[in-house]
Amino acid sequence: MNKNSESVPSGKGESLPSRHGGPMPAEPKIVAFFCNWCTYTAADLAGVSRLKYAPNVRVIRVMCSGRVDPQFVLDAFARGADGVLLGGCHPGDCHYAEGNYKTLRRMRMLARMLKDMGIHDGRFRLEWISGAEGDKVKAVVNDMTAKVRALGPLNMPDRFKEWDKEMVHAR
Amino acid sequence: MPDKPKVAFYWCASCGGCEEAVVDLAEDILKVVEAVDIVLWPVAMDFKKTDVEARSDKSIVAAFINGAIRTSEQEEWVRLLRRKSQVVVSFGACANSGGIPALANQFKKEDILKFVYEDAPGIDNPKKTRPQLESQDEGRTLTLPELRAMVRSLDQVIDVDYYLPGCPPTPKIIMAAVGALLSGKLPTRGAVLSPDVALCEECPRKDSKPADLALTEFKRPHQVQIDPEKCLLAQGLICMGPATRGGCEALCPAGNMACTGCFGPTSRVKDQGAKFVSSVFSNIVSKEEKEIDSVLDGIPDPIGTFYRYGLSKCLLRRKLN
């Protein structure tokens, strides 16, 4: 996506030791906000159905996708997420009637802002996943993990440190 | 006669408007001058860096520093003032959050230099000369500060005790801050010296703001005859009021201009631009992606609009490029 993503070293926590002792390529970290009523239920269903999917998502349960403030997404990136995934009920199915529409409108704007800030659009994704779609959780997580892996680490915390090295007395 | 408290004013990457704001105190400035000794004020008085260096540490009661931090020299100066001062007040939007200069955080340093010294209309620079950190002239060595790769807020470089928001801060909040300093009635360290409420709370148009803004399009000021009474957001104008701290007494909305966000966010907000998106964009009427997108097309420059005074304090700090 950009030259910086290769020139910045990955974080200490990012490289996992392999069985052979050598460093393994960094595993992408994806923060996922799933709504309680649909997408989180779907993730539960995927679990009880024993569907296997990439272990790269850290799921945060929220009552509604409409609870997810765009600040949360920027904060996740700033604290080291390589990708952010948002899951809500299908249009028309929101438990609170309109929450997912509010999310859609906000996130269409946020997606433009992320692009303008040089964050690749593959790193941020909004999906509607109903409580019956355990298989869609699997498909979306696997697909997003593969795409984010291909983009490489974003690693904002190390970038911040790198940027501040130009100051004589970096803080 | 006991010594009057010593006060310093300094400017970094700024336009001079914050200095103007001090002069805008009008007769009140006489009270300030009576109560304090100004030991540094580059815009108005002749003091040198060596004068400040010669002072003992913490001998200046308060340093008011405006402007963003853009060069190595500004870093050096603010660190010096931090050492010599008991209290550092970050003065104005540029010092607080990067201000207008921080919009440069959308561009690479090389691209900025190339545009300014080679490509800008009207440039006549066939040798492509650029400022050098060191150069020789008639046997003398001349030096210049280094332009940093990004624009920083003051508190990204030194510790800051208080913040005065605004582009520029209004005479009223400046006098309140000076009064608090001189009387020793200081608020909690780190406080922004302005009411911690959204601007809408003090806007004369507040009562005309509907619960649902029901936005169908965004208009720019030149595209619309602005109703002087009605909530500006309800008229389809981008007014940063809901995501901006009050204290200016809604000067711009009172003058029929939408708020552009210069007072920065309230204490509960981490990222002014993202919070604005959160509060306002959920009010678009459409539920269809394509229609929503065409409404959003009415905002050609989201970063420059939502972070006009605060890109340094965006959680992402700068564009990756």
Q: How confident is the model at residue B31, as a pLDDT?
A: 86
Examine the pLDDT at B193 and tell me if it is beyond 70.
yes
Cα torsion through B47, B159, B261, B94, rounded to 10: 30
In which residue are the tokens 């393994």 written?
A24
Q: How confident is the model at residue A26, as a pLDDT?
A: 80
Examine the pLDDT at A8 and tell me if it is beyond 70.
no
Q: Which residue of A has its CA nearest to B320?
A: A118
Q: Where are the beta strands (DSSP E) in chain B?
A: 6-11, 37-40, 60-66, 69-71, 85-91, 134-137, 140-143, 147-152, 162-164
Residues B270 and B263: their CA atoms lie apart, in Å, by: 14
Q: How confident is the model at residue A13, as a pLDDT?
A: 39
Residue A169 C-alpha, separation from nearest chain B C-alpha, in angstroms: 8
Close Cβ partners of B143 (under 8 Å, ≥ 6 residues apart): B133, B134
By the 10 Å C-beta count (0-12 exposed, 13-18 middle, 19+ buried), B62 is classed as buried
Examine the pLDDT at A10 and tell me if it is beyond 70.
no
The mean pLDDT value for B154-167 works out to 98
**Cβ pair B274:A169 closer than 8 A:** no
The mean pLDDT value for B176-186 works out to 89
Q: How confident is the model at residue B182, as a pLDDT?
A: 87
Q: Which residue of A has its CA nearest to B273?
A: A71
Examine the pLDDT at B49 and tell me if it is beyond 70.
yes
Render pLDDT for B135-153 as a digit per residue (tens, 0 to 9).
999 999 999 999 999 999 9
pTM over 0.90: yes
Chain B within 8 Å of A69 (Cβ-Cβ)?
Answer: yes
Q: What type of residue sits at position B82?
A: R
The mean pLDDT value for A159-171 works out to 85
**Cβ pair A113:B149 closer than 8 A:** no
The per-residue DSSP string of B258-301 comes to ----TT---TT-S-HHHHHHHHHGGGBS--SHHHHHHHHTT-S-
The mean pLDDT value for B103-126 works out to 96
Residue A80 C-alpha, separation from nearest chain B C-alpha, in angstroms: 11
Render pLDDT for A73-131 as a digit per residue (tens, 0 to 9).
999 999 999 999 999 999 999 999 999 999 999 999 999 999 999 999 999 999 999 99
Going by pLDDT thresholds of 50, 70 and 90, the confidence category of residue A62 is: very high
Among A101, A117, A160, A167, most B C-beta atoms within 10 A, so best to mutate, is A117
Mean pLDDT, chain A, integer: 89
- Measured between beta carbons, the chain B residues lying within 8 angstroms of A69 are 274-275, 278
Going by pLDDT thresholds of 50, 70 and 90, the confidence category of residue A171 is: low
Out of B271, B293, B320, the one facing A74 most closely (by C-beta) is: B271
Smallest Cα–Cα separation from B276: which of B247, B240, B300?
B240
Chain B within 8 Å of A99 (Cβ-Cβ)?
Answer: no
Q: How confident is the model at residue B2, as a pLDDT?
A: 66
Q: How confident is the model at residue A11, as a pLDDT?
A: 40
Going by pLDDT thresholds of 50, 70 and 90, the confidence category of residue A17 is: very low
Place domain B6-100+150-183 in its CATH homologous superfamily. NADH:ubiquinone oxidoreductase-like, 20kDa subunit (3.40.50.700)
Q: How confident is the model at residue A6, as a pLDDT?
A: 37
Q: How confident is the model at residue A24, as a pLDDT?
A: 59
Question: What interhelical angle do B272-280 and A70-78 show, nearest 10?
Answer: 150
**Paired strand residues for B60:** B85
Q: How confident is the model at residue B30, as a pLDDT?
A: 87
Examine the pLDDT at A14 and tell me if it is beyond 50.
no
Q: Which residue of A has its CA nearest to B311?
A: A117
Helix (H) or strand (E) holding B207: none
Mean pLDDT, chain B, integer: 95
Examine the pLDDT at B155 and tell me if it is beyond 80.
yes
Going by pLDDT thresholds of 50, 70 and 90, the confidence category of residue A22 is: low
- Measured between beta carbons, the chain B residues lying within 8 angstroms of A118 are 319-321
Examine the pLDDT at B32 and tell me if it is beyond 90.
no
Going by pLDDT thresholds of 50, 70 and 90, the confidence category of residue A20 is: low
- For residue A3, what are its two tokens? 């030259």
Judge if ipTM > 0.85: yes
Render pLDDT for B210-237 as a digit per residue (tens, 0 to 9).
999 999 999 999 999 999 999 999 999 9
- For residue B280, what are its two tokens? 């306002």
Chain B within 8 Å of A102 (Cβ-Cβ)?
Answer: yes
Where in chain B are the domains? 6-100+150-183, 108-148, 199-313
Smallest Cα–Cα separation from B237: which of B289, B280, B294, B290?
B280
Out of A74, A102, A108, the one facing B296 most closely (by C-beta) is: A108
